[in-house]
Amino acid sequence: MKHSTHLQNNPRRKAKPSQQGHAWLLHHLYVLFSSLGRIARTPLPSLMTAAVIGIALALPTGLYLLLENVQQISNDWESVAQMSLFIKPEINDDAKINAFAKKLEQHPDIHGIRIITPAQALEEYRQLSGFGDALKALEENPLPAVIVIQPASSEVEANQRLLKNLEQLPEVDIVQFDMLWLKRLFTIITIIRRGVLILAGLLSLAVLLVIGNTIRLAIYNRRDEIEIYKLVGATDTFIRRPFLYIGFWYGLFGGLIAWVLVNISLWLLKKPVKQLAILYESQFELVTLDALSSFILLFCGALLGLAGAWLAVGQHLKNIQPR
C-alpha cells in the first residue's frame, strides 16, 4: 500500500459528495440496527427498562382518554340542553301558542321546538305523578303551555344570550335553563385536564431520568471501547450516535408498551361500560386511541428517549478521555 506523505489526506474531500452521503446514510442505518441488536442481547433488563417507561407513559395516556370520554359524555348532555319557555297563563289559546312557536322557529339561534299544550302537560302530569284523582277535582287546568327549545349552538355564552332574548319576549313568563351544573362540570374537567398535564410533565421527567440512567450505565460499560474510539480519531458526534439510538429504541419500545397497556385496559373496560350505557339508554361508545393519538404516543416516547440519551451522553462522554 502506498502512503501519502502530506497531512491533508482527508478522504471526505476526495470522494464524491453523493457517495459520501450514501456512506453516511448507510452508517446511520447500521448504527440504528446495531444499537437495536445491542438492546436485544440483554432482553430481560432491556424489557424491564422499557416496561418502566411504558408504565410511566401509559398513566398520562390513560388519564387523557378518561378525560376525552368524560368530555364526550358532557357534550352529549350539552346537546340535549334544552330551554323550557313557560308561556304566560293568559295565552291559553292553541292557535296563539302555535303562532308564537312559528315565530320562534325562525330565530337563527334556535335549532328546533316542541310545544307542550296545557292539556298535554296535564295529561303527562296525571300519568307520572300518581295524583290523577286529585287533579280531577280541579275546575280548570292550572298548567301553562310550555315550548321546549333546542338551541342551535352548544356554546354556553351563545345560549346565555339566547336566554336573555327569550326572557324579554312579552309572551314568555319564565325561561328555565340550568347551565350552572354543566358549567361546574366543565370547570372541574379543566382542572383535571391541568392535573393530567402536570402529571404528564412529571412522568416525562421520570422517563428522561430512567433513560438517562440506562444510557449512563451503557456508557460506563463501554468505557474501554469509547477510549479506543477516541484514540483512533472518533469525534464526539460519532461516539454519541449509538447511545442516542439506544435511547430512541428504549423510548419507542416504552411507547409501544404504553400503547398495549392502554388498549388492554380499554378492552377490559369495554363490556361494563357498554352495560352501563345500555342502562342509561345511551349510545355512548368508549373513546379509544385512534391512529393519530397512537402515533403521538410513540413519537413522544421516542423523543423522550432521544432527549434522555442526549442529556446523559453530553454529561458523561466528556468525562471519558483515553488513558
Partner 1 sequence: MILFNKVSKRYPGGYKALIQVNFHLKRGEMTFLTGHSGAGKSTLLRLIALIERNSSGQIVVGGQNLSRLPNHHIPYLRRKIGMTFQEHRLLFDRTVFDNVALPLVIAGFRHQEIRRRVRAALDKVGLLNKEKSYPITLSGGQQQRVGIARAVVNKPPILLADEPTGNLDPGLAREIMNLFVQFNQVGVTVLIASHALGLIKSMGYRTLILQQGNLIGDTYPRR
Interface residues with partner 1 (CB under 8 A) are 1-7, 9, 11-12, 15, 19-20, 22-24, 26-27, 224-225, 227-236, 238, 321-323
Q: How far is the CB of 225 from partner 1 (least distance, A)?
A: 6
- Which is it for the CA torsion 175, 180, 185, 190, positive or negative? positive
Residue with cell 303562532: 99
- If the CB atoms of residues 17 and 43 are measured against partner 1, the closer one turns out to be 17
In this complex, which beta carbon is closest to partner 1, that of residue 26 or of residue 260? 26
**Least CB distance from residue 28 to partner 1, whole Å?**
11
Nearer residue to partner 1 within complex by CB, 22 or 103: 22
Taking the complex as a whole, the smallest distance from the CB of residue 49 to partner 1 amounts, in Å, to 22
Q: What are phi and psi of 27, to 5 degrees?
A: -65, -45
Coil vs helix vs strand at 263 = helix
In terms of CB distance, is 113 or 320 closer to partner 1? 320
Shortest separation between residue 232's beta carbon and partner 1, angstroms = 5
Q: Phi and psi of 84, rounded to 5°? A: -105, 120
Query: Minimum distance from CB of 263 to partner 1 (Å)?
Result: 39
What separation in angstroms does the CA of 31 have from each of 1, 238, 242, 244, 316?
A: 29, 10, 6, 10, 20
Q: In angstroms, what is the minimal distance from the CB of 234 to partner 1?
A: 5
C-alpha cell at 34: 446495531
Contacts of 142 (CB under 8 A, 6+ apart): none
**Nearer Cβ to partner 1, position 3 or 271?**
3
172-176: strand order across its sheet: 110-116, 146-151, 83-87, 172-176
Q: Which is nearer to partner 1, 11 or 170 (CB)?
A: 11
Nearer to partner 1 among residue 271 and residue 323 (C-beta): 323
State how far the Cα of 41 lies from the Cα of 37, in Å rounded to an integer: 6
Burial of 128 (0-12, 13-18, 19+ CB in 10 A): exposed
3-state helix, strand, coil in the chain (%, to 5): 70, 5, 20
Q: CB 13 → partner 1: shortest distance, Å?
A: 11
